[in-house]
């Protein structure tokens, strides 16, 4: 009986990022134990304690997602990595670095895990994909964020043949959601883009440079505020989360996290912007010139 159970468990373990999930569960439990243990004599429970409990529960949930829904590993691992890094500032130094280290290790292992060859041949069930967003959506609702519906395609609007480059020293979204990957019409044919949807966004030291080879222009503003049904159509997006973790996203490689908590911001952002829509755009210190 015991050898058969061990073989069954070994077979189950090899079809999912088991050790990655274990590290995330242990990291989450460590974050939960610190503010609830006698060490609270040395640790202020305040906002740090509340954040430790919330992030700890989210990391435990992320580990369970990797165990029981391994096809969600990319979305879950990216969000778990964000939470693990944030725990350093939001909690008691990430559970005195132990919980943060376990969370980062588990997130990296979960994202890098690949199924065995025979598992790759099994088609994924499309109806299960929305479950990948359940963890960050639950976190967002807990932290008081606003869920945003999926963005529509831009219809008959034509994107430039070469998307302009946008840079900003700080990008602060509210209700950040990856609506998907699609194509938009451009002067040189269909252009593959990521669709990012958010309730609002604030950009500091905004710069836009056209790159079509002639009549190049440069648009600059000390700040740019987008409000109401903000939709960005991007061919590339890079920046540093909380100024610490630098990532690059495009439609063909690393997926953008489906939801980012409202207190997250990005620095040193560079993007290739095909289109942008918003109910209102407010620019301060706007200038226009040749680039």
DSSP 8-60: HHHHHHTTTTHHHHHHHHHHHHHHHHHHHSGGGGTS--HHHHHHHHHHHHHHH
pLDDT of the residue at 20? 92
Whether residue 70 is found in the same domain as residue 201? no
What is the arithmetic mean of pLDDT over 263-274? 85
Q: Do residues 114 and 191 share a domain?
A: no
Is residue 154 in some structural domain? no
Distant-in-sequence, close-in-space partners of 172: CB < 8 Å, separation ≥ 6? 201, 202, 203, 265, 266
Predicted pLDDT at 214: 63
Instruction: Please state the pTM of the whole predicted model.
Output: 0.50
**Is the pLDDT score of 252 beyond 70?**
yes
For the stretch 62-119, pLDDT in tens is 999 999 988 888 888 888 888 888 888 777 777 788 888 999 999 989 988 888 654 4
C-alpha Rg value of the chain to the nearest Å:
21
Is 120 among the domain residues? yes
Question: What average pLDDT score do residues 134-162 get?
Answer: 50
Same domain, 37 and 114: yes
22-26, 143-147, 231-235, range with the lowest pLDDT: 143-147
pLDDT tens-digit series, residues 149-174? 344 444 456 778 788 899 999 998 88
The terminus-to-terminus CA distance of the chain in angstroms comes to 74
Can you give the pLDDT at residue 19? 92
* pLDDT, position 41: 45
Instruction: Clarify whether residues 137 and 174 are in a common domain.
Output: no
Statement to judge: residues 7 and 137 lie in one domain: yes
- pLDDT at residue 149, as a whole number: 38
Which of 108, 142, 176 is the last residue before a domain boundary?
142
Share of the chain above pLDDT 70, in %: 71
Query: What integer is the mean pLDDT of 176-189?
Result: 78
| Residue 38: band (very low, low, confident or very high) from pLDDT cuts 50, 70, 90 | low
Decide: residue 281, CB within 10 A, 0-12 exposed, 13-18 middle, 19+ buried: middle
Q: How far is CA 144 from the centre of its chain?
A: 17
CA distance 189 to 160: 10
Element (H, E) at 188: none
Greater confidence (180 vs 165) lies with: 165
Question: Taking residues 244-267, what's their average pLDDT?
Answer: 67
With 60 as the cut, is the pLDDT of residue 128 above it?
A: no
Q: Is residue 56 part of a domain?
A: yes
Q: Kindly state whether residues 121 and 234 are assigned to the same domain.
A: no
User: Does a structural domain hold residue 150?
Assistant: no
Q: Is residue 156 part of a domain?
A: no
Query: In this structure, are 131 and 177 located in the same domain?
Result: no
Q: What is the total count of domains within the chain?
A: 2
Distance in angstroms (rounded) separating the CA atoms of residues 111 and 108 = 5
Query: Is 282 inside any structural domain?
Result: yes
Asked whether residue 197 falls in the same domain as residue 115, the answer is: no
Do 192 and 282 reside in the same domain of the chain? yes
Between CA 224 and CA 15 the distance in angstroms is 47
Q: Are 170 and 284 members of one domain?
A: yes
Residues 117 and 180 reside in one and the same domain:
no
Residues 173-199, mean pLDDT to the nearest whole number: 81
Does residue 239 fall inside a structural domain?
yes
Instruction: Report if residue 178 sits inside a domain.
Output: yes
* Separation between Cα atoms, residue 111 and residue 72, nearest integer Å: 10
Let me know whether 63 and 187 are in one domain. Answer: no
CA 22 to chain centre: 22
pLDDT given at position 102: 92
Q: Would you say residue 282 has pLDDT above 80?
A: yes
Range of the domain at 45: 2-142
């Amino acid at each position: 009986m015991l050898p058969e159970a061990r073989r069954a468990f070994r077979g189950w373990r090899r079809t999912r990022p088991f050790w990655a999930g274990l590290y995330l569960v242990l990291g989450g439990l460590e974050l939960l134990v610190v503010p609830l243990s006698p060490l609270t004599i040395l640790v202020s429970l305040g906002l740090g304690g509340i954040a430790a409990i919330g992030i700890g529960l989210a990391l435990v949930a992320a580990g369970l997602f990797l165990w029981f829904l391994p096809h969600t590993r990319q979305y879950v691992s990216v969000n778990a990595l964000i939470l693990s890094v944030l725990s350093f500032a939001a909690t008691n130094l990430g559970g005195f670095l132990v919980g943060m280290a376990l969370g980062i290790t588990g997130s990296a292992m979960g994202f890098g895990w690949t199924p065995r060859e025979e598992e790759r041949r099994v088609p994924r069930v499309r109806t299960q994909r929305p479950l990948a967003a359940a963890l960050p959506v639950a976190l967002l609702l807990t932290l008081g964020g606003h869920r945003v519906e999926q963005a529509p395609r831009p219809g008959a609007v034509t994107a430039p043949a070469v998307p302009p480059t946008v840079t900003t020293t700080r990008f602060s979204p509210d209700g950040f959601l990856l609506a998907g990957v699609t194509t938009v019409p451009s002067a040189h044919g269909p252009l593959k883009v990521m669709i990012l949807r958010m309730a609002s966004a604030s950009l500091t030291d905004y710069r836009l440079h056209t790159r079509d080879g002639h009549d190049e222009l440069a648009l600059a503003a000390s700040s740019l505020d987008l409000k109401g049904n903000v939709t960005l159509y991007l061919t590339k997006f890079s920046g540093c989360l909380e100024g610490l973790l630098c990532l690059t996203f495009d439609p063909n490689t690393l997926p953008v996290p489906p939801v980012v908590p409202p207190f997250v911001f990005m620095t040193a952002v560079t993007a290739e912007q095909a289109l942008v829509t918003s109910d209102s755009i407010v620019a301060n210190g706007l200038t226009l010139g040749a680039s």
